[in-house]
Structure 1
């Protein structure tokens, strides 16, 4: 495929083409993508909410979108990665972008970039923002892909910034400690611009950087909170006290942090958007995001969760303990080789009776024997399979009504099993 014929590409051809353009899947830095954005005259005028963090970014974006949508605002939401279809990354409210719309945006980027090299992720960010400007959305919700300071999303100045949580992940790019990682994620903050951190134990680097650039920072537990009040929740923050709020549709105590950060961000934009208590109530009750402790009913319970680092696995373990199973818990498990496989296995081993592992079909994917090695080291019972279809089939065929199957380890793993279950009917 030659560049001159890109206008005839299908979406999959575009994605393949983007992969071939850049030797590195990840290349942090803003100069290249900023140059292309400038050539495309991408100058958003609506409010932008930028969301960074180790875990909880997607859920926080979902809360923001749910509340804003019920309030009648037209939202443009960009998240990554996807589970099954690339189109999941870009949506207008709850409508996923079409193949045609994506191809049109990719063509515009291709014409604008000239000889500038872009990563596939950078293509996606530019396509999303370009489409949102064309569609005249009221609010953009942009999820950072990796880190914050040098992520492509950060070329667009936020109206309010959210850092959800800080854990150890992407060590080769962000550092091997929470202070270094926190500083990278705080890079989305801007002077005199509201900044929010939902981590209950924020690294000092986040606080220091906010002070350094004079960004008004609101911290969980100090400046805002969402706490249990019997059968309901109460939000305190932004000079407001909102009681009798429902528990979020997304399960897990940590989701209160994500929901609270979203509410705090929206209230911080009160001069540009109007959100009522009723909007918040409905948004919390009706929020949905695939693959975040998503429960399905088969002949036994199936749980899909994209936990892919020790921090995420710890939250998954907590959910599984709080929602006990009266049969066996089986994990259909696959991870990328450059993740902390040992750390995830150690977190999930105490709540797992049987592991079903398969190779992740990705250049970075760990094979089944590698995964089995870590599981056997902690004394886990493990079965290896050639594919996730085979792993899921075996787990289902050997499970009874009181058992549960948990699918986890990576977005790729959950996406492949999701696709399998849809075809299974």
Structure 2
């Protein structure tokens, strides 16, 4: 049977966008058959990271600490902001098109080799290709971010050596359920019997705890098995990680900003404590890793004036954290917000958390059929109680870049501009700034 192939990564990705009947097709049967045909396996530890918010940050902490310790690390995250290659990092570097292409071809060949070839979603196909790339490199550790949920997500085809659930809140309700208990059960699906199962949510739903106990996972709960303590220092604040068997004292705050990052850092440190016999790291490795960690679009404050803040907060839980972080930044005369979101999100819930921090709204359409129109966003603002006046305006724009240009034209040095919501919103502004800087 002839195998489909394409000369460029862009051509592959364009093909995959329409290769499967639906974009999201929960289940592991199809991808599991292709994984078996690929004979995909890893000898090194695999860490799987799920959760409603904080997944990307936790992956970044793990990657940065392990790289500081000298390990060869593969890290798969999603979605990307500017380029697909961001989803596959090896030793802290995005994989090149040339590195990825042979593994796209390998997945297609394996898929076509089946007696009854199956179709794969964009995420399933690309995840297999990235895993196949990682498996070819003899890595010391592999970090995998869950795309959606956990139990039926593509990365769950691998039996993880350590699973992390960062936080649990309402998101993707159509697929995962409309309560924290239902969603927690789906996320706990990445746990494995006899393996460390880390939960950094300070109020873990009983469904997650019950599932972990039922399968015999080694459950680590925040507040019971690990936690943090903050310590005001003479020059700057410090904090300590306290785990089951070790304490890491006098740590500087991580380079990723935001009040929630200590929960994510603790999750990473608990995983490394649980895997210390296979992936030992020193106190200096932890300090260097936390100091050097980088993750664009997560409460990222750009240098210069007016202040520009990028954050992919797109659900009420993330919006509440973002509001807290904005409130701790100090005084700004006005805050201009470039806001775009997907139509299936709780837009009113997001706005209710942030309306007290935002004065001028620049609402934007997004370049995807799933995006809410600027008109829909404006209606959500009205429902959330946002009222226009001398110090509050609401305007609509066709693109994130247009909205950002308007905000920048009006903002003064003692103002700030917040770009938040969907990854498309943040990416649209980042891409525009990149073009203008080149």
Matched, 1:384 2:396: yes
Name 1:125's counterpart in structure 2: 127
Whole-angstrom distance in 1 between the partners of 2:426 and 2:357: 19
Q: Cα distance 1:5–1:209, how it changes in 2: closer, same or farther (>3 A)?
A: closer
Whole-angstrom distance in 2 between the partners of 1:53 and 1:5: 36
Matched, 1:235 2:241: yes
8 Å CA contact retained: 1:227, 1:256: no
Matched, 1:179 2:181: yes
- Tell me the number of residue pairs that the alignment of Structure 1 and Structure 2 aligns: 423
Show the 5 A alignment for 1:199-348.
199-230=201-232, 231-348=237-354
Whole-angstrom distance in 1 between the partners of 2:364 and 2:137: 41
Q: CA deviation at 1:226?
A: 1.9
SS of the counterpart of 2:395? strand
Whole-angstrom distance in 2 between the partners of 1:359 and 1:386: 5
Q: CA deviation at 1:9?
A: 2.8
Q: CA deviation at 1:6?
A: 4.1
Q: Larger deviation: 97-106 or 331-340?
A: 97-106
Name 1:405's counterpart in structure 2: 417
8 Å CA contact retained: 2:28, 2:154: yes
8 Å CA contact retained: 2:20, 2:121: yes
Deviations 1:142-180 (A, max 9, x none): 000000000010010111110000010000000000000
SS of the counterpart of 2:317? helix
Q: CA deviation at 1:127?
A: 1.1
Q: CA deviation at 1:241?
A: 1.4
Whole-angstrom distance in 2 between the partners of 1:398 and 1:227: 42
8 Å CA contact retained: 1:149, 1:185: yes
Whole-angstrom distance in 1 between the partners of 2:100 and 2:353: 39
Whole-angstrom distance in 2 between the partners of 1:222 and 1:97: 39
Name 2:27's counterpart in structure 1: 29
RMSD of aligned Cα (Å): 1.2
Deviations 1:354-396 (A, max 9, x none): 1101101111011111111111332243110121111111100
8 Å CA contact retained: 1:325, 1:404: no
Report the TM-score, using the length of structure 1 for normalisation: 0.98
Matched, 1:358 2:356: no
Q: CA deviation at 1:227?
A: 2.1
Whole-angstrom distance in 1 between the partners of 2:398 and 2:259: 36
Q: CA deviation at 1:99?
A: 1.0
Consecutive unaligned residues in structure 2, runs of 5 or more: 388-392
Consecutive unaligned residues in structure 1, runs of 5 or more: none
8 Å CA contact retained: 1:6, 1:14: no
Report the TM-score, using the length of structure 2 for normalisation: 0.95
Name 1:67's counterpart in structure 2: 65
Matched, 1:372 2:378: yes
Whole-angstrom distance in 1 between the partners of 2:279 and 2:382: 53
Whole-angstrom distance in 1 between the partners of 2:397 and 2:369: 18
Q: CA deviation at 1:11?
A: 1.2
8 Å CA contact retained: 1:376, 1:382: no
SS of the counterpart of 2:17? helix
Whole-angstrom distance in 2 between the partners of 1:326 and 1:214: 51
8 Å CA contact retained: 1:358, 1:391: yes
SS of the counterpart of 1:291? coil
8 Å CA contact retained: 2:399, 2:428: no
Whole-angstrom distance in 2 between the partners of 1:242 and 1:101: 38
* Large movers: runs of 4+ above 2 Å: 3-9
Whole-angstrom distance in 2 between the partners of 1:30 and 1:116: 12
Name 1:112's counterpart in structure 2: 110
Whole-angstrom distance in 1 between the partners of 2:340 and 2:12: 27
Matched, 1:349 2:349: no
Q: CA deviation at 1:258?
A: 0.4
Whole-angstrom distance in 2 between the partners of 1:12 and 1:241: 47
